[in-house]
Homo-oligomer: A and B are copies of this chain.
Amino acid sequence: MAKITTHRQGQARVTINDLAAELGLAKGTVSRALNGYSDIAEGTRLRVSRAAERMGYRPLAQAQAIRTGRARSLGLVLNAGRSDAHKPFLTDFLDGISRGASEESWTLTVATAEDEADEVTTMTRLIAERKVDGFILPRTKMVDARIRLCKSKDVPFILYGRTGDPEGCAWFDICGEDAMREAVLRLARFGHRRIGWIGGMQDYAYTNLRRGGFLAGLAEAGLDPDPAIMVDGVFTVEDGFNAGLRLLDMPEPPTAVVCALDLAALGLYRAAARAGRRVGRDLAVIAYDGIPEAALADPPLTTFAVDTRAAGRALAAMLIARIRGTPPEELRRVVPARLIPRSSDRLSILPPNLPPEPAHHPTTPV
């Protein structure tokens, strides 16, 4: 009987020494067999892996880590400070990451921070203790302290979003700019010629992108942008409400509004009510995010949905690849958002300056 090393009292764990003893091999040989070194005979490799299976051997993650420098753990630092818009998606996001990590037998280490400085502090600690091998950075900003930190410490990372200086960055993102562009074209097809804009927080990278997509859509539709009906810096329903009031209070208010966030649109709903207008009747709205509340709004909000779970999974897989050495330039993916056509963008009462709606196009998903 092989000698079993006991650790906690009563708990038996099969170590590589037990395996080696059982097989009559040196433990180094067993290790190399298990890790696919080329200097191990095929028969031996088989014998080893079978015995490992049979005895239920699982290498001790930390023991490997100390030599290889790999903890097989992905880091995620959540900013719990401000009321995050990704709150409703958090479970899906975590699920996606965790699943992507599990597939490679990696794990996910989560920490929280209350502001940007705290984020950097927390990440520094995780790096110093080598608790994680790399980071997933959600909600990237145009200039992002976390990215600078990772670069300076030479620790792998992947962005969920994009950033100002792409040098050395890998990312996965949803193509918000295409969505916004498509939103404009869709509204223009419905006859709208005065299309307003409510955009997100300035420093987030996605804000610029979506704004650019909006402008590109206008240009493509042959419409001139009017700064008077464009508001930025919105982050909450409250903000959206105020922005909506501003837009609808114009001498020549928009007949349609594109919102960079569902939350902004929800605020706009209330602003419209206050201004004596009603979304889906005489004001068309298209937004972005696909939060559950959007479906329950009255009228149901046409929006672009993001598959957060899939994003998490992709991010995990890509970060692991990055850690294993794939150059960042090969790890850049941008996938389209999916339009969910509901009724907030089809008007039942046409404003005076709108022509009758053309023949009903089948809704055009990307």
Contact = CB atoms under 8 A, between A and B. Distances in A.
Contact of A154 (B8, B73, B94, B95): B8
13 contacts: A61-B131, A62-B63, A62-B65, A62-B66, A62-B71, A63-B66, A73-B131, A78-B94, A80-B94, A87-B91, A94-B112, A107-B109, A110-B110
Q: Which of A56, A58, A61 has the most CB of B within 10 A?
A: A61
A102 B122 contact: yes
Interface in A92-110: 92, 94-95, 98-99, 102, 105, 107-110
A153 B10 CA distance: 9
A59 B129 contact: yes
A166 interface: no
Contacts of A111: 98, 102, 107-108
Nearest to A56: B128
A84 interface: yes
A9 to B, nearest CB: 8
A360 interface: no
B94 A130 contact: no
Interface of A: 7-8, 10-11, 13, 56, 58-63, 65-66, 69, 71, 73, 78, 80, 84, 87-88, 90-92, 94-95, 98-99, 102, 105, 107-112, 122, 125-126, 128-131, 153-154
B73 A66 contact: no
A107 B73 CA distance: 12
Nearest to A75: B107
A62 B109 CA distance: 14
A180 to B, nearest CB: 27
Could you say how many copies of this chain the assembly holds?
2
Given A78-B95, A91-B84, A69 B110 contact: no
The binding surface of chain A is classed by DSSP as mixed
Contacts of A84: 91
A11 to B, nearest CB: 6
A243 B65 CA distance: 53
Given A108-B109, A109-B108, A112-B98, A129 B61 contact: yes
A87 B65 CA distance: 33
A84 B92 CA distance: 11
B91 A60 contact: no
A188 to B, nearest CB: 34
A129 B94 contact: no
A110 B112 contact: no
B69 A8 contact: yes
A47 B77 CA distance: 34
Nearest to A76: B110
A80 B95 contact: yes
A221 to B, nearest CB: 36
A258 to B, nearest CB: 25
Given A131-B61, A154-B8, A126 B110 contact: no
A13 B128 CA distance: 8
Contacts of A129: 58-61, 105
Nearest to A99: B112
Contacts of A99: 112
Given A11-B154, A62-B71, A108-B111, 7 more contacts: A60-B129, A60-B130, A61-B129, A62-B66, A78-B95, A78-B98, A80-B92
Q: Which 6 residue pairs of A and B lie closest in terms of their CB atoms, listed nearest first?
A: A62-B62, A80-B95, A58-B128, A62-B65, A98-B112, A95-B112
